[in-house]
């Protein structure tokens, strides 16, 4: 069984995905789940790519993934793929990092046609944060093309019940919203909170501040995008605590020379027996693109397996496992166990 993947947004995550597909053809170290739904890495094929940056459109995908502003580390060289990057959608506001760049765009009809011609099973939406209208437009193009959809952006696409119903009616799967890292700042923050609560401590306050490089971080310091991203991340973090407490999480600054790396700072305050105080200060350094690789491979294989087993519409197990803002939030360990029971074999 082969899963044919199209990507919208030829950025750092797409670069990491392509490198991972080549790197893990003959090795397993660092690969979280060699088999998902009975499929290995060799069963995943990227068959189409869509982008609005004119510097990436019209060239081979292997070249586009190394075109500025992409800064993901080059671990393996990708040979020419024969996949020419096609124009994508840019409905609504243009992301900050593209405001001074010539755009090449197309219509939903043309996107649907491209997905059909490529016989894509699933579209990974990895465009920039803040492109809410474009994220929805890609979803609608998928419905027209008969292609499942994974929304990796913070746009809350799955909150639209009518859109989700259309995917179910077309016997397609839709998952999202906002891809979670394998071990990024949001999951790390959630894990610490869950541990403290389970050990009987009372949470008082916490914050998480992220600093990084790359186009995604650059876009997120835009005030409107920052506010939306902060809301999604804060809600995800707060879901681990069964009562209200003060918590704030979000991107605070962009440092160009950090490339695709990110440093996250955490501060937590809790109280224990006799009101004894506990405070925790810690920081985490990670690579955004690499943190997405395993999750992307898992999502596309799980969606393909869901369609094969005739389960359509929203796949809650995939959403809760791989995304920060699923339709129904559950503790991360419960989400992982549910996903593992269904798909890891």
The pLDDT value recorded for residue 219 is 67
Same domain, 326 and 228: no
The pLDDT value recorded for residue 169 is 98
Same domain, 30 and 153: yes
Q: Which of 287, 303, 324 finishes a domain?
A: 287
**DSSP for residue 181:** P
The pLDDT value recorded for residue 267 is 97
Residues 176-191: pLDDT tens digits? Answer: 999 999 998 889 999 9
Same domain, 42 and 127: yes
Looking up residue 248, the CATH number of its domain turns out to be: 3.30.360.10
Same domain, 96 and 13: yes
Q: 9 lies in which domain range?
A: 3-180+290-343
Instruction: Residue 284: name the closest of 265, 259, 307 by CA.
Output: 265
The phi, psi pair for 279, rounded to 5°, reads -125, 150
Q: Cβ contacts of residue 24 below 8 Å, gap of 6+?
A: 30, 31, 41
Same domain, 73 and 105: yes
Same domain, 303 and 168: yes
What is the number of domains present in the chain? 2
Q: Are 65 and 59 in contact (CB under 8 A)?
A: no
Same domain, 263 and 310: no
Written as six digits, the tokens of 181 are 């890292």
Same domain, 20 and 142: yes
CA distances to 201, 234, 250 from 121, in Å? 46, 32, 33
The pLDDT value recorded for residue 299 is 98
Written as six digits, the tokens of 187 are 């999951």
Residues 259-285: pLDDT tens digits? Answer: 888 899 999 999 999 999 999 999 999
3-state secondary structure of 8: strand
Measured CA to CA, the distance from residue 342 to residue 336 in angstroms comes to 10
Looking up residue 16, the CATH number of its domain turns out to be: 3.40.50.720
Same domain, 166 and 94: yes
The pLDDT value recorded for residue 221 is 67
Neighbours of 53 (CB within 10 A): 26
Sheet hosting strand 148-151, strand order edge to edge: 86-87, 44-51, 3-8, 122-125, 148-151, 173-175, 313-314
Apex 65 CA angle, 62 and 68, nearest 5: 135
The pLDDT value recorded for residue 307 is 98
The pLDDT value recorded for residue 97 is 67
Indicate the helix (H) or strand (E) that contains 155: none
Same domain, 137 and 94: yes
pTM, full prediction: 0.90
Same domain, 109 and 50: yes
Same domain, 32 and 132: yes
Q: Which of 271, 287, 303 finishes a domain?
A: 287
In this prediction, the residues of the chain whose per-residue pLDDT falls under 50 are none
* DSSP one-letter string for 59-115: SBHHHHTTSTT------SPPPP-S-BPEEB---SSPPGGGTTS-B-B--HHHHHHHH
């Amino acid at each position: 069984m082969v899963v044919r993947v199209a990507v919208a947004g030829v950025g750092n995550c797409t670069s990491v995905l392509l490198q991972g597909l080549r790197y893990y053809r003959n090795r397993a170290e660092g690969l979280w789940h060699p088999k998902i739904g009975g499929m290995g890495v060799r069963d995943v094929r990227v068959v189409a790519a869509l982008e609005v940056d004119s510097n990436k459109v019209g060239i081979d995908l292997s070249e586009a993934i190394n075109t500025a502003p992409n800064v993901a580390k080059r671990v393996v060289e990708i040979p020419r793929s024969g996949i020419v990057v096609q124009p994508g959608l840019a409905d609504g506001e243009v992301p900050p990092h593209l405001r001074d760049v010539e755009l090449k765009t197309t219509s939903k009809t043309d996107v649907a046609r491209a997905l059909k011609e490529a016989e894509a099973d699933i579209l990974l939406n990895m465009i920039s944060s803040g492109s809410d209208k474009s994220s929805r437009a890609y979803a609608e193009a998928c419905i027209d093309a008969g292609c499942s959809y994974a929304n990796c952006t913070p746009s809350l696409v799955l909150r639209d019940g009518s859109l989700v119903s259309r995917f179910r009616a077309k016997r397609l799967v839709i998952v999202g919203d906002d891809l979670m890292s394998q071990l990024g700042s949001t999951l790390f923050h959630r894990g610490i909170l869950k541990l403290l609560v389970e050990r009987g401590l009372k949470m008082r306050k916490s914050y998480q501040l992220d600093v990084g490089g790359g186009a995604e971080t650059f876009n997120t310091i835009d005030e409107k995008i920052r506010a939306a991203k902060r809301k999604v991340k804060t809600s995800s973090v707060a879901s681990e605590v069964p009562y209200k407490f003060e918590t704030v999480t979000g991107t605070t600054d962009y440092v160009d020379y950090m490339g695709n790396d990110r440093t996250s700072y955490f501060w937590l305050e809790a109280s224990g027996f006799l009101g004894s105080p506990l405070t925790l200060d810690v920081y985490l350094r990670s690579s955004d693109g690499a943190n997405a690789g395993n999750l992307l491979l898992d999502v596309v294989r799980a969606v393909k397996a869901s369609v094969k087993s005739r389960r359509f519409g929203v796949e809650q197990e995939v959403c809760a496992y791989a995304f920060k803002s699923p339709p129904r939030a559950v503790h991360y360990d419960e989400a992982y166990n549910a996903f593992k029971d269904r798909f890891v074999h």
